[in-house]
Structure 1
Amino acid sequence: MTTLNKSVPLSAYTPFTRAEWAKLSKTSTAILSPSELAQVGSINETISAEEVSDIYLPLSQLLFMHMTKSVQLHKSVNSFLQKETKKVPFVIGVAGSVSVGKSTTARLIQALCSQWPNSPKVDLVTTDGFLYPNSVLEERGLMKRKGFPESYDIERLIRFLYELKSGSAYMEVPMYSHLTYDILQNEVQHIIEPDVVIVEGINVLQVNKKNRKIPHVFVSDFFDFSIFVDAEEDDILTWYIERFKLLQKTAFQQPESFFHRYRHLSDSEAHDFARDIWTTINGINLEKNIRPTRHRADLILKKGKHHKVEEVHLKKM
């Protein structure tokens, strides 16, 4: 009988340093213009050409490899079954904490995937649109639990993914406004015959344990590849406070902003207010609901300070 050597840690992932991962790229040519990089970035996160070439080009090439194999398998299965069926979209999930930069990562992946050799149609869907409207959250006493699993209409999200993976040619996705902090009434995102769909949100790798109506179907069941954007909580908190202060000077100044009432906070008051929100809401959600799903991802991007990816962990096959 073989005994496991307990001094050697077991891991389902192959780790890469930034330098090791960067060497995997088959090209060093910049394929996104400065204006495209600016569009991809967020209010407190800019993406450098170096970050694209070192981290996201190898990731895009890996995703293209997976998508190509998926297409080949579909053709082989059709031949075996002697049945011609339509290829359903390749779905990529992107998860991670509030303020970790997952939305920027998702937009960057969308931009790079759109430039694949087969010129696919790539749509990006955020799960913010599947939050319950504020009126429902207030009625259920969940406004201070916004972002927690119970604040999402998971059944509606699952239904959308069922339609997507069933080959529906046209779907509608609810939209969310970060300005008004609510679902946009009578506005939808149109998803029309996509080749690739990126589904981004803090909850996409969670297992819906509290939803008894759909206990055996999870959002991640519909993913062909999943990514978790990770960082130390102290860094994420710093980024969250920085973003709050930037928004206070910009979006919060608009009368229609949900946070308009906080526009006159002093710098120290804004810092303390943002930290309190993190401590009582976002930090708890990260610890209890988000970070425990990290090892369900196919790939983990571990960021260091300044939003730069320092490590990549790829699940073994």
Structure 2
Amino acid sequence: MDDILRRIAGLGPGRHVVAIAGAPGSGKSTLAAELVAAVPGAVLVPMDGFHLDNRLLELDGLRPRKGAPETFDAEGFVALIRRLKQGGEVVYPVFDRQRDLAIAGAGRVAAQTGLVVVEGNYLLLDRAPWRGLAGLWDLSVMLEVPAEELRRRLTARWQGLGQSPAEVLAHLENDLANAETVAGRSLPADIRLTNV
């Protein structure tokens, strides 16, 4: 983390937007929260607020694939990052994992915020419209975790949310498929970290 903090310190004055990308269960949220805690006034903006609602996913037959790139409002997310780069106050949605839904207008980046740390699976995805994010990051970090460790972490996550064994297995299959997408279809990051 020290290397990331040094790189952030070297970005200079003004607002900067840093991407923390990686597969589900790679530790993105933890690293992003640690960075925000280490930089006074920094704000964390998770990509998960742009999950499409379950009703829309069901209409499109995508409910079992929730968390895949096509199950997000990617265009809306890219627009949010552009707004963040412009500066000023920005309001954004936040995902409630317990309730499995996004809450509109639940987060705010104040006008004076200098550092915004964004975390999510597809921040470097080389696929439209996600590819539109490529020139917006002031610094990008990709977390890499061996497949077996990801499997262990994700199993514990879903068990901790009270899911049945069958539900855990379904979530696990989906998460690992999304992890393969992140590993195989992402653009290069400024910093790559192995998080075991």
TM-score, reference length from structure 2: 0.90
1:259-270 to 2 correspondence within 5 Å?
Answer: 262=163, 265=164, 270=165
Secondary structure at the aligned position of 2:61 is classed as: coil
The number of equivalent residue pairs is 195
CA distance in 2, matches of 1:245, 1:139: 27
Secondary structure at the aligned position of 1:206 is classed as: coil
1:68-87 to 2 correspondence within 5 Å?
Answer: 68=12, 71=13, 87=14
What's the % identity of the aligned pairs? 23
CA distance in 2, matches of 1:247, 1:277: 11
Structure 1: gaps of 5 or more residues: 1-55, 72-86, 115-120, 249-261, 305-317
1:138-168: CA deviation from partner (whole Å, max 9, x where unpaired): 111111121111111111111112222223x
CA contact (8 A) 1:130 1:174 kept: yes
Q: Which residue of 2 aligns with 1:137?
A: 57
Q: Which residue of 2 aligns with 1:108?
A: 34
Give the superposed CA RMSD: 2.0
CA contact (8 A) 1:157 1:219 kept: no
Q: Which amino acid aligns with 2:159?
A: K
Q: Check 1:130–1:273 CA distance in 2 against 1; reply closer, same or farther (3 A cut).
A: closer
Of 104, 118, 132, the match for 1:218: 132
Q: Which amino acid aligns with 1:300?
A: R
Q: Check 1:293–1:300 CA distance in 2 against 1; reply closer, same or farther (3 A cut).
A: farther
1:272-296: CA deviation from partner (whole Å, max 9, x where unpaired): 64234322x1111111x21124551
Q: Which amino acid aligns with 2:169?
A: R
CA contact (8 A) 2:126 2:186 kept: no
Q: Check 1:246–1:131 CA distance in 2 against 1; reply closer, same or farther (3 A cut).
A: closer
Q: Which residue of 1 aligns with 2:48?
A: 128
Of 142, 155, 165, the match for 1:228: 142
CA distance in 2, matches of 1:220, 1:199: 13
Report which structure shows greater RCO (CA 8 Å, sep ≥6).
2
CA contact (8 A) 1:228 1:294 kept: no
Q: Which amino acid aligns with 1:141?
A: G
Of 179, 197, 206, the match for 2:116: 197
